[in-house]
A and B are shown apart, each in its own frame.
Chain A
Amino acid sequence: MANILAVAETRGGELRKVALEAVTAARALADATGAQVHALVFGPAGIGGKVEAVAQHGADQVLVCEHAAYDKADAESMSATIAARAKDGGYRAVVMSASAQGKDLAPRVAAKLDAPLAGDVTSVEAAGDTIRVKHPTYTGKVITTLVLTGAPVVVSVRPSAVTPSVNARPLATQAVAPASDPAASRVKVTEVFAGTSTKLDLGEAPVIISGGRGLKAAENFKLVEDLADAFGNAAVGATRAVTDDGWRPHSDQIGQTGRLVSPDLYVACGISGAIQHLAGMRTSRTIVAINKDAEAPIFKIADYGIVGDVLEILPVLTQAVRAARQSH
Chain B
Amino acid sequence: MRGPTVKIAVCIKRVPDMESRFKIAPSGNAVDETGLKFDISDFDSYAVEAALQMNEAAGSGETVVVCLGPDTVQETIRKALSMGADRGVQLKSDTVPMDGLAIAKALAAELKDGGYDLILFGKHALDSSHGSVGAMTAELLGLPCLNAASKLDVANGKATARRELEGAAEVLEFPLPAVISIDEGIARPRYPSLKGIMAAKKKPLDVKPAQLGAVRMTVEKMELPSERPPGRILGEGPAAVPELVRLLQTEAKVL
| Contact of B166 with A100 in the complex, beta carbons under 8 Å | yes
A103-152 at interface with B (beta carbon < 8 Å): 103-104, 106-108, 110-112, 114-120, 132, 135-150
Query: How far is A316 from B238 in the complex, measured between Cα atoms in Å?
Result: 6
Interface size of B by Cβ–Cβ distance < 8 Å? 82
Q: How far is the CB of A135 from chain B (nearest CB, A)?
A: 7
Q: Which of A159, A186, A320 contacts B241 (CB 8 A)?
A: A320
| Contact of B140 with A111 in the complex, beta carbons under 8 Å | yes
| Contact of B252 with A286 in the complex, beta carbons under 8 Å | yes
| Contact of B231 with A144 in the complex, beta carbons under 8 Å | no
| Contact of A136 with B129 in the complex, beta carbons under 8 Å | yes
B36-58 at interface with A (beta carbon < 8 Å): 42-43
Give the interface centre of B127, B131, B134, B160 by most chain A CB atoms within 10 Å: B131
List the one stretch of A167-175, A202-210, A211-219 in contact with chain B: A202-210
A265 lies within 8 A of chain B by Cβ: yes
List the one stretch of A41-49, A61-69, A190-198 in contact with chain B: A190-198
Which chain B positions have C-beta within 8 A of A188?
172-174
Query: How far is A88 from B12 in the complex, measured between Cα atoms in Å?
Result: 36
B96 lies within 8 A of chain A by Cβ: no
Query: How far is A118 from B129 in the complex, measured between Cα atoms in Å?
Result: 9
A84 lies within 8 A of chain B by Cβ: no
Query: How far is A145 from B223 in the complex, measured between Cα atoms in Å?
Result: 8
| Contact of B18 with A275 in the complex, beta carbons under 8 Å | yes
Q: Which of A114, A303, A320 contacts B245 (CB 8 A)?
A: A320
Q: Which of B104, B130, B231, B236 contacts A120 (CB 8 A)?
A: B130
List the one stretch of B59-67, B111-119, B202-210, B212-220 in contact with chain A: B212-220
Which chain B positions have C-beta within 8 A of A31?
none
| A191-B171 in contact given A282-B228, A306-B241 (Cβ < 8 Å) | yes
Among residues of B, the one whose C-beta sits closest to the C-beta of A131 is B217
| A251-B164 in contact given A103-B148, A148-B217 (Cβ < 8 Å) | yes
Q: How far is the CB of B47 from chain A (nearest CB, A)?
A: 13
| Contact of A138 with B169 in the complex, beta carbons under 8 Å | no
Give the interface centre of A202, A279, A307 by most chain B CB atoms within 10 Å: A307
List the one stretch of A20-28, A32-40, A252-260 in contact with chain B: A252-260
Q: Which of B136, B146, B164, B167 contacts A187 (CB 8 A)?
A: B146
Query: Is chain A's interface secondary structure helix, strand, loop, or mixed overall?
Result: mixed
Q: How far is the CB of A198 from chain B (nearest CB, A)?
A: 11
Which chain A positions have C-beta within 8 A of B19?
275
B242 lies within 8 A of chain A by Cβ: yes
A324 lies within 8 A of chain B by Cβ: yes
| Contact of A146 with B171 in the complex, beta carbons under 8 Å | no
Which chain A positions have C-beta within 8 A of B99?
116
Q: Which of B124, B135, B252 contacts A265 (CB 8 A)?
A: B252
Which chain A positions have C-beta within 8 A of B184?
250, 253, 257-258
B144 lies within 8 A of chain A by Cβ: yes
Query: How far is A303 from B145 in the complex, measured between Cα atoms in Å?
Result: 43
| Contact of B132 with A106 in the complex, beta carbons under 8 Å | yes
Which chain B positions have C-beta within 8 A of A264?
254
| Contact of A100 with B163 in the complex, beta carbons under 8 Å | yes
Query: How far is A112 from B252 in the complex, measured between Cα atoms in Å?
Result: 45
Which chain A positions have C-beta within 8 A of B178?
187
| Contact of A138 with B237 in the complex, beta carbons under 8 Å | no
B109 lies within 8 A of chain A by Cβ: no
Query: How far is A186 from B231 in the complex, measured between Cα atoms in Å?
Result: 52
| Contact of A107 with B166 in the complex, beta carbons under 8 Å | no
Q: How far is the CB of A207 from chain B (nearest CB, A)?
A: 7
Q: How far is the CB of A283 from chain B (nearest CB, A)?
A: 8
B195 lies within 8 A of chain A by Cβ: no
| Contact of A137 with B173 in the complex, beta carbons under 8 Å | no
| Contact of B238 with A312 in the complex, beta carbons under 8 Å | yes
B98 lies within 8 A of chain A by Cβ: yes
Which chain A positions have C-beta within 8 A of B147?
75, 103-104, 107
B249 lies within 8 A of chain A by Cβ: yes
Question: Which 5 pairs between the two chains have the least Cβ-Cβ distance?
Answer: A111-B139, A195-B167, A201-B167, A119-B130, A107-B135
Q: What are 19 A-B contacts defined by CB distance under 8 Å?
A: A107-B131, A107-B147, A108-B136, A108-B145, A111-B104, A117-B136, A119-B100, A138-B129, A150-B216, A186-B144, A187-B172, A188-B172, A204-B166, A282-B225, A285-B252, A286-B252, A304-B234, A306-B233, A306-B235
